[in-house]
Amino acid sequence: MEVATACEKNGCTTIIAPMDLSNEKSVSEAAQKVLDKKIKIDCLYQFAGISQRSLVSETPLFVDRRIFEINFFGAIALTKAVLPEMIKNGGGQLAVTSSLVGKFGFPFRSSYSATKHALHGFFESLRAENKQNNIQVSIFIPGRVKTNISVNAITKDGRTHGKMDAGQDTGISPEKAAKIIIRGLKKEKKEILVGGKELIMVHIRRFLPRLYYYLSSRIKD
């Protein structure tokens, strides 16, 4: 509502279509609510998701499935609902939120990391398939941004983590993150890194893998 109010103050028309990303029917109905308005959809930016705080050995499969339903299947369901209309209208821009751990594995984030790896594979394939359809695809790769993602993370028993992690608490502000994202979208960058000094891990994993393996094994919850 706050975003809609801010947009309307600047002369924009808004439509609010709530959805539950873990429910395919909910996603389909929300998308159809917008499509029925016959509005040309130029872009679809997806930010919703849920994180995790649990060890592989202690996490039951229903928790892994829930994380995948929201982070992966929810995102691709919404994309598939909108993509045909974008192609029909001559193109558009898709963007989805991955994570720093979408580039490598990370302790206590096994399925969260896996969902983000899966998004890379899906959206890179989508990009390759739709170059001729003028579909631009960007993937956001945030590190530490001070949001409530750690507070709302899911634990081994399916409950909410309920606290702000120290690393999250020292992350960049959402406002700064938004500015970085907007600049990247304007340039149609394929991957948009968002964060502070922690982003060095992407380069360590790529160029100094042995150092990455050492560092990742020393990370505590």
Q: What is the pLDDT of residues 101-111, one digit of tens each?
A: 999 999 999 99
CA distance 32 to 153: 29
State the pLDDT at residue 219.
81
Instruction: Tell me the catalytic residues.
Output: 112
CA distance 127 to 180: 22
Backbone dihedral region of 14: left (phi > 0), alpha (psi from -120 to 50 degrees) or beta?
beta
Q: Give me the amino acid identity at 59.
A: T
Length reported for the chain = 221
State the pLDDT at residue 2.
84
The mean per-residue pLDDT over the stretch 141-156 comes to: 97
CATH 3.30.70.3000 fits 41-217, yes or no: no
Residue 159 is encoded by which pair of tokens? Answer: 């409950």
**DSSP readout, 109-170?**
BHHHHHHHHHHHHHHHHHHHHTGGGTEEEEEEEE--B-SSTTTT-EETTS-B--S--HHHHT
Position 1 pLDDT exceeds 90? no
Q: Give me the amino acid identity at 138.
A: S
The mean per-residue pLDDT over the stretch 131-148 comes to: 97
Report residue 159: phi and psi, to 5°.
-90, 170
How far from chain centre, in Å, is Cα 52? 14
> What distances in angstroms separate CA 105 from CA 40, 55, 100, 117, 219, one per listed residue?
38, 13, 9, 9, 12
State the pLDDT at residue 221.
64
State the pLDDT at residue 133.
98
Q: What percent of the chain has pLDDT over 90?
A: 90
Report residue 44: phi and psi, to 5°.
-135, 115
Give the pLDDT band (50/70/90) at residue 11: confident
Position 13 pLDDT exceeds 90? no
* DSSP H/E element including 67: helix 61-68
User: Quick one: DSSP state of residue 104?
Assistant: S
Position 7 pLDDT exceeds 90? no
